[in-house]
Amino acid sequence: MVQELRSLQRKIEGKEKIDACNILETYVYNMKNQVNDKDKLADKLQAYEKEIETTVKEAVEWLDDNQSAKNEDYEEKLKQVEATCNP
């Protein structure tokens, strides 16, 4: 019974990690697409364009380099990216 509970806990933690990764990944790629769509956001991005592009690029690299990160790490990275992209 204890082993079953531990197994269930690992499955839940694994799902939370996957969910956190997916949220961050979706947000980062949506921002990347918006930055690349100059007609759509040109007026809004002029002042922050380079900073956003850099943040998005770094976040994509972070995702690639941190496949084994914990869900808390993904959530923290999302907060950092959002802070730059949505000041």
CATH number of residue 47's parent domain: 1.20.1270.10
Residue 68 backbone phi and psi in degrees, to 5: -105, 20
pTM reported for the whole predicted model? 0.64
Give the count of domains, the chain: 1
With 80 as the cut, is the pLDDT of residue 18 above it?
Answer: yes
Comparing 42 with 9, the larger pLDDT belongs to 9
Comparing 85 with 83, the larger pLDDT belongs to 83
Q: pLDDT tens digits, residue range 20-65? A: 888 888 988 888 887 777 666 656 666 667 788 888 889 999 989 9
* pLDDT score of 33: 84
Question: Structural domain of residue 17, as residue ranges?
Answer: 2-85
Question: Whole-angstrom Cα distance, residue 41 to residue 46?
Answer: 9
Question: Whole-angstrom Cα distance, residue 87 to residue 84?
Answer: 6
Question: Whole-angstrom Cα distance, residue 53 to residue 46?
Answer: 11
Closest of 85, 87, 66, 68 to residue 27, by C-alpha: 85
